[in-house]
């Protein structure tokens, strides 16, 4: 995703937890010579100078040009990411009956709550009300109070966790490239065991450099490359799964999923482990689907009329339908190919000897994608901390660093940004080395972000926005949905944490080998 390459539009979250932001920071031009600042606490009024302009929208920003198809592409790009690699494993735990059914159920819940959230883009009238540019703006406008801070804490903790998950996934793919070439050179005789620590450190060093890019303005090209890479490795994984099924001449797997007593690489599956695995699979599927945290930002790119919420509903239907079909194909193809032995990372299950070159391409695509996805998901957290620091220490200056001699180009280096972002990358790398369990971490992230960000806040904002009375039929129905999803999130979190505990029994910190 990506949770989702969960690739975000540029300049999102630029105003997180900052109610006094200048709305024209989103522009590189001056929107209005008359108005210097948009007061977000003021009632929504139509700007008569720009309301009918062909160049500006009613909020003084440049005319938005997004359509159903551009919004759909943003959502698909954001959702389809490294989470797709764990879907075959998730279906293997749940089986042919429950696996696809749970995936379809998650798709419906995401679709429904996304429509609720889309209605919260404008405060007041759906067509003329004041715009909320980010998810946090919508929470502030509809709920306010302590819930804004709670939402921010969950959001940023989730972003930190995604950075850890992406570091682990990137190291696994880098090792897969090294092992495939080792297997090819030895004809499969050398087991080619190696540690993941070195590859996590390499990935961290790369991120130290990319993390010095100031903001989303400068990472748009990285997002595009990441999106292309996301589709590349997903299609390779799907193709190899289909080819493996054709080679086996039969579908692997069972109705109820992996059975108690089955022997896996992690040992014999006990009844309790079967339960934990099923719960963890829920978290993996939730992680692969969640994108609500960027829905408002995508909606802010849509042109109007028609009202943005109407366009967003159509885009959500199109994108969720396409994504669900793609996920079912990848997950079911992987399960049909490997059955109970479906790997946590689909691309590591095809062996490393043949076709090693195709697997190298796919794993290289994963690494490149994750380099960009790491930045896309870290930039909002970078921006939040640096805004707080700028208010706390306003005298911290940026210095010009000249390149290529006295006549070379100059780039601005901020001392706080250099130290803080480097420390962030070092911290995520260390945590990844301590907990190098891809599936377990993905499950925890899915459980952490699914209920609060995908269900609870959209439901509560919709109730507030529509002024739905307590104990009315719609209110009871929405609260029942929220409660059911809370139970699912807690169960997924318990299962994923249990998975980490089981892995730690045979794991020594900083000495992981594959």
DSSP 412-457: EEEHHHHHHHHHHHHHHHHHHHH---HHHHHHHHHHHHIIIIIIIH
- Specify which of 21-25, 82-86, 377-381, 431-435 reaches the highest per-range mean pLDDT: 431-435
What confidence score (pLDDT) does residue 481 get?
92
Burial label, 463 (beta-carbon count in 10 A; 0-12, 13-18, 19+): buried
Average pLDDT taken over every residue of the chain:
75
Decide if pLDDT at 13 tops 50.
no
Give the integer Cα–Cα distance in Å for 481 and 222.
37
Decide if pLDDT at 139 tops 60.
yes
The secondary structure of 229-267 as a DSSP string is: HHHHHHHHHHHHHHHHHHHHTS----TT-SPTT-EETTE
60 Rama class: left (phi>0) / alpha (psi -120 to 50) / beta: left
Supply 50's token pair: 């720009």
Decide if pLDDT at 410 tops 90.
no
449 vs 190, residue with greater confidence: 449
Whose CA is closest to 454, among 477, 435, 482? 482
What confidence score (pLDDT) does residue 265 get?
66
Phi and psi at 267, nearest 5°, equal 115, -175
Which parts of 10-134 are beta strand (E)? 122-123, 130-131
Q: pLDDT band at 42, cuts 50/70/90?
A: very low
pLDDT in tens, 245-265: 888 888 888 888 888 777 776
Rounded average pLDDT over 55-83: 72
What confidence score (pLDDT) does residue 479 get?
93
Share of the chain above pLDDT 70, in %: 73
Q: Which residue, chain included where needed, has tokens 């709920």?
A: 143
Whose CA is closest to 456, among 485, 494, 495? 485
60 vs 32, residue with greater confidence: 60
Half-sphere exposure of 482 (CA within 13 A, CB side): 18
pLDDT in tens, 345-403: 777 666 545 677 787 888 888 888 888 778 777 777 887 788 788 787 776 665 555 55
Predicted TM-score (pTM) of this structure: 0.71
What confidence score (pLDDT) does residue 501 get?
74
Angle at 461 between CA 25 and CA 302, to 5 degrees: 45
406 vs 294, residue with greater confidence: 294
Phi and psi at 412, nearest 5°, equal -90, 130
Give the integer Cα–Cα distance in Å for 413 and 410.
9
C-beta of residue 461 within 8 angstroms of C-beta of residue 142: yes
Q: pLDDT band at 503, cuts 50/70/90?
A: low
Give the integer Cα–Cα distance in Å for 457 and 196.
38
Decide if pLDDT at 4 tops 70.
no
C-beta of residue 63 within 8 angstroms of C-beta of residue 55: yes
CA distances from 389 to 250, 372, 383 (A): 59, 25, 10
Decide if pLDDT at 68 tops 70.
yes
Give the integer Cα–Cα distance in Å for 448 and 452.
8
1 vs 95, residue with greater confidence: 95
200 forms beta bridges with none
CB count in 10 Å sphere of residue 445: 29
What confidence score (pLDDT) does residue 78 get?
64
C-beta of residue 136 within 8 angstroms of C-beta of residue 143: no
Supply 97's token pair: 């009956």
Rounded average pLDDT over 498-503: 72
The secondary structure of 110-171 as a DSSP string is: HHHHHHHHHTTSEESSTTTSEE--SHHHHHHHHT-THHHHHHHHHHHHHHHHHHHHHHHHHH
What confidence score (pLDDT) does residue 509 get?
59
Decide if pLDDT at 334 tops 70.
yes
């Amino acid at each position: 995703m990506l949770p989702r390459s969960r690739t975000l539009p540029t300049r999102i979250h630029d105003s997180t937890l900052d109610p006094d932001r200048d709305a024209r920071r989103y522009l590189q031009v001056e929107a209005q010579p008359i108005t210097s600042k948009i007061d977000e606490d003021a009632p929504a009024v139509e700007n008569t100078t720009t309301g009918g302009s062909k160049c500006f929208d009613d909020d003084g920003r440049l005319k938005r040009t997004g359509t159903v198809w551009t919004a759909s592409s943003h959502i698909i790009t954001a959702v389809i990411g490294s989470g797709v690699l764990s879907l075959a494993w998730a279906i293997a735990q749940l089986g042919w009956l429950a696996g696809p059914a749970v995936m379809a159920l998650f798709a419906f819940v995401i679709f429904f709550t996304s429509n609720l959230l889309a209605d919260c883009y404008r405060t007041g009238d759906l067509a003329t009300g004041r715009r909320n540019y980010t998810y946090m703006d919508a929470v502030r406008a509809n709920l306010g109070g302590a819930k804004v801070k709670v939402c921010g804490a969950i959001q940023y903790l989730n972003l930190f966790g995604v950075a850890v998950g992406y570091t682990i996934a990137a190291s696994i793919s880098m090792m897969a490239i090294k092992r495939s070439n080792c297997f090819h050179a030895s004809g499969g005789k050398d087991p080619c065991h190696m540690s993941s620590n070195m590859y996590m450190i390499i990935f961290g060093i790369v991120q130290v450099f990319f993390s010095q890019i100031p903001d989303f303005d400068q990472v748009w090209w990285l997002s595009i490359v990441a999106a292309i890479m996301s589709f590349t490795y997903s299609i390779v994984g799907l193709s190899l799964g289909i080819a493996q099924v054709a080679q086996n001449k039969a579908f692997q797997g069972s109705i109820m999923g992996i059975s108690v007593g089955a022997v896996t690489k992690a040992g014999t599956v006990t009844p309790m482990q079967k339960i934990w695995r099923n719960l963890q699979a829920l978290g993996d599927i939730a992680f692969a689907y969640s994108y609500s945290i960027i829905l408002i930002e995508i909606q802010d790119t849509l042109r109007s009329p028609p009202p943005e919420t109407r366009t967003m509903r159509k885009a959500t239907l199109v994108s969720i339908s396409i994504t669900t079909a793609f996920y079912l194909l990848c997950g079911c193809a992987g399960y049909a190919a490997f059955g109970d032995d479906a790997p946590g990372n689909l691309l590591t299950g095809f062996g490393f000897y043949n076709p090693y070159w195709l697997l190298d391409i796919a794993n290289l695509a994963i690494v490149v994608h994750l380099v960009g996805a790491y930045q896309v998901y870290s930039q909002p957290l970078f921006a939040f901390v640096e805004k707080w620091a700028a208010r706390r220490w306003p005298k911290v200056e940026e210095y010009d660093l000249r390149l290529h001699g006295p006549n070379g180009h100059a780039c601005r280096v901020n001392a706080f940004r250099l130290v803080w972002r480097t420390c962030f990358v070092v911290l995520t790398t260390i945590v990844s080395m301590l907990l190098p369990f891809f599936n377990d971490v993905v499950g925890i992230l899915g459980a952490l972000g699914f209920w609060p960000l995908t269900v609870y806040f959209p439901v509560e904002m919709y109730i507030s926005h529509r002024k739905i009375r307590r104990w009315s039929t719609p209110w009871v129905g929405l609260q029942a949905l929220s409660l059911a999803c809370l139970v699912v999130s807690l169960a997924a979190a318990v299962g994923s944490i249990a998975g980490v505990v089981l892995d730690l029994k045979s794991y020594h910190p900083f000495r992981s080998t594959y």
